[in-house]
């Protein structure tokens, strides 16, 4: 894909250009939203998939990890995971209802995700070399976030594509480390009864499936700015593209909750 942006900073989203994911209140004010004049006509289904599905998914994640942490394992990693998903749920709700662009919230969510999931993977790894790689990847993500959000540029009104790309890459590497660990060790219990496996599988679906969306989203949002004079249908296509990302997140959350129910069913616990 050919990037039209003249410099690296524009490509990686460090300039103030597009505004996406876009808060629904701004969508509803079609007259005020000069860049997106007709997005008020987004259908209910599209609205649900592209906007509401994010908090719904995080709510499911929170529920799944809370049940697992409470009923099956009180390990710290599950408690941290539950806390992270609850924070993510609050962030997603806040981005949905606030007046201004919710992009800075999405950017903050990225760093929270880095910390939350990196801690989980750190606990999941069994060897010190794997743990070192996880720490290194987490540091890269955190350093980039600090630089891009607080030192080099103001990213409150852009979608920080590069931050999400670094996050996705880091998570996919951590997932591969876990897969290698799985293949090298045979456990007493079938893999289908492992919460960690299904949770990580969900994360792989989400981060690998959304990788290209993250990579190109800033570039695409800049393309629908007024200078390019694109039509409403183009903007709607972009909304749908974000919807695809949300569907992947939702699938991941379903896998997590589904795994907890599956484990509960097979272990025949009296109630959830």
Partner 1 sequence: MDSLSQEIAIIMIASAFFLLVAVGLIILVLIYQRKQFQFALEKQQLNSQFQRELLATRLEAQEETLNQLSTELHDNVGQLLSSSKLLIGVSMRGLAAPTQELLLAEQTVSKAITELRSMSKSLNKDWLEKFNLIENLKAEVNRINVSKEFEMTFQHPSQVELSSDRQLVLFRIVQEAFQNALKHSKATRICIVMEQDANNLNVIIKDDGTGFTVADSSKLGVGIMNIKNRTQLLGGTVRWDSGDSGTQVGIQIPITK
Stretch that binds partner 1, among 7-15, 35-43, 98-106, 205-213 (CB under 8 A): 205-213
35 binds partner 1 (CB under 8 A): no
In this chain, which of 248, 249, 257, 263 binds partner 1, going by CB under 8 A?
248
> Do 54 and 101 form a contact (C-beta atoms < 8 A)?
no
- How many residues contact partner 1, by CB under 8 A? 30
263 binds partner 1 (CB under 8 A): no
> Do 191 and 197 form a contact (C-beta atoms < 8 A)?
yes
Measured between alpha carbons, how far is residue 27 from residues 10, 21, 133 in Å? 25, 10, 42
Q: CB of residue 242 vs partner 1: minimum separation in angstroms? A: 11
Name 210's Cβ contacts closer than 8 Å, sequence gap at least 6: 164, 168, 245, 248, 249
Q: Which two tokens stand for residue 16?
A: 């103030």
Task: Report the C-alpha gap between 265 and 108 in whole angstroms.
Answer: 37
Q: Check residue 230 and give left, alpha or beta (phi > 0: left; psi -120 to 50: alpha).
A: beta
192 binds partner 1 (CB under 8 A): yes
179 binds partner 1 (CB under 8 A): yes
182 binds partner 1 (CB under 8 A): yes
Strands (E) located in the chain: none
In this chain, which of 139, 191, 261, 272 binds partner 1, going by CB under 8 A?
191
Name 7's Cβ contacts closer than 8 Å, sequence gap at least 6: none
Stretch that binds partner 1, among 6-14, 105-113, 155-163, 186-194 (CB under 8 A): 186-194
126 binds partner 1 (CB under 8 A): no
Task: Report the C-alpha gap between 235 and 225 in whole angstroms.
Answer: 10
- Kindly write out the interface string for residues 130-169 of this chain, putting x where it contacts partner 1 by CB under 8 A and - elsewhere: ----------------------------------------
1 binds partner 1 (CB under 8 A): yes
Task: Report the C-alpha gap between 126 and 138 in whole angstroms.
Answer: 17
Closest CB to partner 1 among 151 and 186? 186
Q: Give the footprint of partner 1 on this chain (CB under 8 A).
A: 1, 179, 182-183, 186-187, 190-192, 197, 201, 204-205, 208-213, 216, 220, 223-224, 230, 234, 237-238, 241, 244, 248
């Amino acid at each position: 894909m050919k990037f039209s942006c003249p410099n690296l900073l524009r490509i990686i989203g460090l300039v103030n250009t597009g505004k996406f994911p876009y808060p629904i209140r701004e969508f509803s004010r079609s007259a005020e939203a000069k860049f997106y004049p007709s997005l008020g006509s987004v259908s209910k289904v599209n609205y649900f998939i592209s906007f509401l599905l994010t908090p719904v998914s995080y709510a499911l994640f929170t529920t799944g990890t809370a049940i697992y942490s409470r009923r099956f394992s009180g390990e710290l990693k599950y408690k941290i995971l539950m806390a992270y998903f609850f924070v993510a749920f609050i962030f997603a709700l806040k981005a949905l209802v606030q007046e201004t662009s919710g992009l800075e919230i999405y950017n903050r969510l990225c760093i929270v995700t880095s910390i939350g999931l990196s801690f989980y993977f750190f606990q999941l790894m069994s060897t010190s070399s794997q743990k070192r790689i996880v720490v290194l990847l987490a540091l890269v993500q955190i350093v980039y976030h600090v630089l891009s959000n607080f030192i080099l540029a103001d990213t409150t009104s852009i979608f920080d594509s590069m931050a999400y790309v670094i996050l996705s890459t880091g998570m996919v590497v951590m997932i591969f480390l876990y897969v290698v660990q799985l293949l090298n060790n045979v456990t007493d219990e079938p893999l289908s009864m492992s919460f960690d496996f299904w949770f990580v599988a969900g994360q792989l679906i989400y981060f690998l499936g959304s990788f290209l969306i993250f990579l190109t989203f800033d570039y695409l949002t800049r393309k629908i700015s007024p200078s390019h004079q694109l039509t409403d249908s183009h903007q709607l296509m972009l909304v749908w593209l974000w919807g695809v990302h949300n569907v992947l997140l939702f699938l991941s959350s379903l896998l997590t909750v589904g795994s907890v129910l599956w484990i509960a069913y097979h272990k025949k616990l009296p109630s959830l």
